[in-house]
Structure 1
Amino acid sequence: MFDHVLTQIATTLPALPETIPGTDLDRRRAVAVGILARQALGQEALPTHTLIVHIAADDPALTAGPDATPMSGVARVEDWGPLLTEQLPAFLDGSKVVVRPIVDPAGLRPADCYETPARMRFAIEQRNPVDVFPWGTRKACHCDMDHTVPYIDGRAGQTSLANLGPLSRKAHRAKTHSKWTLEQPAPGIYHWTSPHGYHYQVTPHGTTRVSVPPTEEADHHKRFETTVAMRT
């Protein structure tokens, strides 16, 4: 019975470093003994944490042939930061790794419905990881998907990568009720015009102010618009 329980626990554990003697199953069973001992003493099991790592399909570390000069691209670890792909084996050593199918944006066809399909939303969240309002910081996964050109019932193909972007509720209200205007000249690139004539470009890399209104008007409204951007 004890051996059976050990094996059951062991099969749920991630792979362990080969520096620990024994077969992989033996190493996991040894860790399982420690888990059972902690539980017997009333201690909780060691905490676990989920990390999501994004690697582009064209990363040189994945596409280079066996005889190619070693190269390394950059992986993005959510809530952690960038990491060289050549460092991933050491970074993930001892972890349970789940590979998620790649979403190819080129294969996502526009939808007729108002709701954003799950795969399309995932692709947009990877393309624009934060709120696309000027200087937005809210994570895209916590934003609503906003139709750049407002959705009109009955028209086909309005829900697409070229007409969607993540917006916080405050940013959405600013766009809808505060006379901010928005264009998306290319998928993932957003041009905003403020009520007082400021122009901003938002890309996956951040926000750039591209033009300002006449000096006297700019001075009058600068503090107001900076406050709006910071609060959104």
Structure 2
Amino acid sequence: MFEEVIASFDELFERHHPSATPASAALLERIGVFARVENRAAAEQLTAIGELFAYRLSRCSECEDWAVDTEAAVSAEVAAQLRISQGLAASRVRYARAMRERLPKVGEVFKAGDINYRMFQTIVFRTDLITDPDVLAQVDGQVAANVARWPSMTQGRLGAQVDKVVARVDADAVRRRLQRQSDRAIWIGEVYEGVAELSGSLLGPDAHALDQRLDALAGTVCEHDPRSRDQRRADALGALAAGADRLGCRCGRAECAAGKRPAPGPVVIHVIAERPALERMGAAPASELGADGLIPPDLITELAASARLVPLIHPGDAAPERGYVPSKALADFVRCRDLTCRWPGCDRPATDCDLDHTIPYAAGGATHASNLKCLCRTLRRQHGRRHHGSAVAGAGERVAAVASAGTPHAVATENHRGLPMVRHPRPGRRRGRRAGVLRPPGGGRGCGTHLPAVTWQ
């Protein structure tokens, strides 16, 4: 009986914390090898499509009066050859032309297998508005030189990286950005059968604040409310317009518990900016915690006028703190530095993540910025080491994420705003206390933590 319980416990532990074995390492190696093969094959397909387009174009001149141009004709050929739709084939032709005509250096990285088709698509989309050949060439060169070293990330974070490169070299992007900001507006369409349409554009932080507020109001009803989440969010906008602090529940039950629940607290949006940008003296963009994209410097000053400003102090070469739990200042720095979960490809906001010691505290790991990082609870449980150690390890100037199977993955040594990570894990005071995990304030909800440098409600 006792042996069965132990076996069941071991099976459960193995399921949540898979062991690193030669077999699992070999399988992961195969996955990586064939991923590069897939990337190269996708790039070669685009290369062939681009060459076909150039071949067809060389045999006839384009004419604006033609009903079917070369791109449409080649798209039809590609659709027939690949047995895909005309629309998908036209998309392949456009990306093939972008690789051949607009981003040849990024195309070479793609051909080498260092990036996948999704990444290439994102780069093309984010650079599609550049018309100056010199600017495009600079962006192409800078992205090609860095994209292979970027860690795996979501599409939005990759787009933010490309946007940062574009913002540095494309002066015309400033004019377009200001134009988009000045054109913001809200439109409410005519009522048809009791329903009206709402559309428009807002400043990014305002839109995210509204999004969070609608979620909060939609969650004030009880679980018996018959409406879907989308319907409750739509109704929450009406409640917000009426000045209500909660959404009326429609369960119709006399014992409904919704009225006894407290009203949701104020929504807090965290923006991290450099001090010169607050004083209109800097050109570095700001980052909004938990959101993709960057906030341009010309907008930072406007947002800061109504925000609570909190300075962020870089720990630099400061000595490790004495206790296991970091001070508020150190925890704020780590969350502002990481912005999201540090595991490759995860973009859960840092306010929703746990702070984890890279070198376990019980093994002498220091409570220092160089030895702390943000890990979301799900990935920490899936990939954490058996001794409550870390899933992200540091080694000199490089930082690598180590999965449960022992496979290293590249992790950024700076966040997507370029803030250094304080990379070197340091040994600290050895303690007898068991290493654990530091939970985010408020039980994992980011709205309770004030992060530097700009927050407002």
Shorter-chain TM-score range = 0.5 to 0.7
Name the structure 2 match of 1:96.
306
Quick one: distance in 1 between partners of 2:300 and 2:277? 14
Name the structure 2 match of 1:168.
376
Change in CA separation of 1:52 and 1:138 when aligned onto 2, cut-off 3 Å: closer
In the TM superposition, 1:22-33 aligns within 5 A as none
Name the structure 2 match of 1:192.
401
Which of the residues 101, 105, 108 maps onto 2:315?
Answer: 105
Q: Which runs of 5+ in 2 are unaligned?
A: 1-241, 246-264, 417-457
- Is the 1:114–1:159 contact (alpha carbons within 8 Å) kept by the matching residues of 2? yes
Quick one: distance in 2 between partners of 1:166 and 1:110? 18
- Is the 1:111–1:159 contact (alpha carbons within 8 Å) kept by the matching residues of 2? yes
In the TM superposition, 1:119-138 aligns within 5 A as 119-138=329-348
Which of the residues 86, 89, 95 maps onto 2:298?
Answer: 86
1:87 is paired with a residue of what secondary structure? Answer: helix
Displacement of 1:186: 5.7
Which of the residues 202, 214, 218 maps onto 2:411?
Answer: 202
Is residue 76 of structure 1 aligned with residue 287 of structure 2?
yes
Letter in 1 for 2:274: A
Displacement of 1:119: 0.8
- Is the 1:61–1:72 contact (alpha carbons within 8 Å) kept by the matching residues of 2? no
Deviations 1:86-106 (A, max 9, x none): 2234456xx632221232322
Displacement of 1:49: 4.8
- Is the 1:131–1:138 contact (alpha carbons within 8 Å) kept by the matching residues of 2? yes
Which of the residues 53, 56, 72 maps onto 2:271?
Answer: 53
Percent of aligned pairs with the same amino acid: 19
Displacement of 1:74: 0.7
Letter in 2 for 1:73: A
Q: Across the two proteins, how many residue pairs are aligned to each other?
A: 152
Q: What's the TM-score once normalised by structure 2's chain length?
A: 0.29
Quick one: distance in 2 between partners of 1:170 and 1:200? 18
Change in CA separation of 1:164 and 1:134 when aligned onto 2, cut-off 3 Å: same
Quick one: distance in 2 between partners of 1:186 and 1:56? 27
- Is the 1:116–1:145 contact (alpha carbons within 8 Å) kept by the matching residues of 2? no
Change in CA separation of 1:132 and 1:98 when aligned onto 2, cut-off 3 Å: same
Q: Which has the higher contact order (CA 8 A, sep 6+)?
A: 2
Letter in 1 for 2:333: A
Deviations 1:44-89 (A, max 9, x none): 27997543322124x467485xxxxxx6221223355412212234
Letter in 2 for 1:82: L
Quick one: distance in 2 between partners of 1:99 and 1:75? 14
Letter in 1 for 2:331: R
- Is the 1:145–1:165 contact (alpha carbons within 8 Å) kept by the matching residues of 2? yes
Quick one: distance in 2 between partners of 1:79 and 1:195? 26
Quick one: distance in 2 between partners of 1:98 and 1:128? 21
Letter in 2 for 1:53: V
- Is the 1:75–1:82 contact (alpha carbons within 8 Å) kept by the matching residues of 2? yes
Letter in 1 for 2:289: E
Q: What's the TM-score once normalised by structure 1's chain length?
A: 0.52
In the TM superposition, 1:206-225 aligns within 5 A as none
Name the structure 1 match of 2:450.
none
Quick one: distance in 2 between partners of 1:60 and 1:44? 34
Quick one: distance in 1 between partners of 2:390 and 2:278? 43
Q: Which runs of 5+ in 1 are unaligned?
A: 1-42, 65-70, 206-232
Displacement of 1:181: 5.6
Deviations 1:9-52 (A, max 9, x none): xxxxxxxxxxxxxxxxxxxxxxxxxxxxxxxxxx5279975433
Higher strand share: 1
Name the structure 2 match of 1:44.
243
Quick one: distance in 2 between partners of 1:117 and 1:191? 26
